[in-house]
Amino acid sequence: MTDEALAKAINLPCWSGPVSPQPLGGGITNLNYVVEDGGKKYVARIADDIVLHQIMRFNELAGSRAASESGISPQVIFAEHGALVIEFIEGKTLANEDIQKRETLERILPIIKICHQDVKKYLRGPVLSFWVFHVVNDYALTLKNANSRMLPELPRLLTAATQLEKAVGAIDIVYGHNDLLAGNFIDDGSKIWLIDWDYAGFNSPLFDLGGIASNCELSLADEEWLLENYFEKPLHNELRHQYFAMKCASLMRESMWSMVSEIYSTIDFDYPKYTESNLKAFDEKFEIFLSM
């Protein structure tokens, strides 16, 4: 797959001459390359649809273009089946400890709001929704069919998913990024950019809020700050309970994403370790949810 991806990156028709793509580390879904062409740098993202993860490249392209139009994501330069070329952003890829700093979180909150409220204004053509409870149920069926090593965990996870979905209840719908890992933010020194729209789709705002909190291990104080400033009002117990349920669901989904990736991904990444880490985090948070 790596040789095929490199060959595809080299031969994309958007280049003005011969190029020498260099692997860009960090991706755990796609193969990415930095390409210099005509004195400028670009990122070539090489990947087909991944139906097992409900990733459809037409949807990623729509989200990428709309997010670029809204000013929060790099410009899309070229796209064809299996490839997306975007402008390269010179900057620092954020880590959890960066987002744990309040001053960084203050810079990220407006980006989340633009994603949820403004990106949809620029969307063209069909796009997907992202409902985490459908995703985890689909993952469970995939894992059963593959006789996953994690089969003994599935009954309790699906029971928990039913409890969490009931607790989330009725939702507002926004356009979500749905993969707010620290590594999907790049700080160029004056602006923070949000990248990787693989899982973008209409969803509850609580999923992105819970996702960034769990993925980046925010403190309780920062979670409270994030929620109150996102909704621009004091946090009440009902919203807090809905949010915490969705936060648990985001951890369950990340765990099951990794379980599926253990079986099917060809990318060099320690998925079993990632599974265990996320499942432990889910179990800890779900225990708290049950006591609320």
Structure tokens that stand for 198 in this block: 């693989």
Please check the confidence at residue 147 and state whether its pLDDT lies above 80. Answer: yes
CATH top-level class of 92-291 = alpha beta
pLDDT one-digit tens code per residue, 73-115: 999 999 999 999 999 999 999 999 999 999 999 999 999 999 9
pLDDT one-digit tens code per residue, 177-201: 999 999 999 999 999 999 999 999 9
CA distance 31 to 23: 8
Give percent of the chain above pLDDT 70: 98
CA distance 246 to 45: 30
CB 22 within 8 A of CB 34: yes
Domain ranges of the chain: 2-87, 92-291
Q: What is the mean pLDDT of residues 210-215?
A: 95
Pairing between β-strand 83-87 and β-strand 174-176 as defined by DSSP bridges? unpaired
Domain 2-87 is found in CATH 3.30.200.20: yes
pLDDT one-digit tens code per residue, 258-288: 999 999 988 889 999 999 999 999 999 999 9
Tokens 């069919």, residue located: 145
Split at pLDDT 50, 70, 90, the class of 68 is very high
Say what the pTM is. 0.94
CA distance 211 to 207: 6
Nearest to 194 by CA among 173, 166, 175, 221: 175
CA distance 268 to 221: 36
Nearest to 164 by CA among 186, 197, 136, 192: 136
DSSP assigned state of 145: H
- Compute the Cα dihedral for 164, 195, 9, 123 and give only its sign: positive
How many helices (H) and strands (E) in the chain? 10, 10
Angle value at C-alpha 42, between 189 and 15, nearest 5 degrees: 155
Compute the chain's Rg from CA coordinates.
Answer: 19
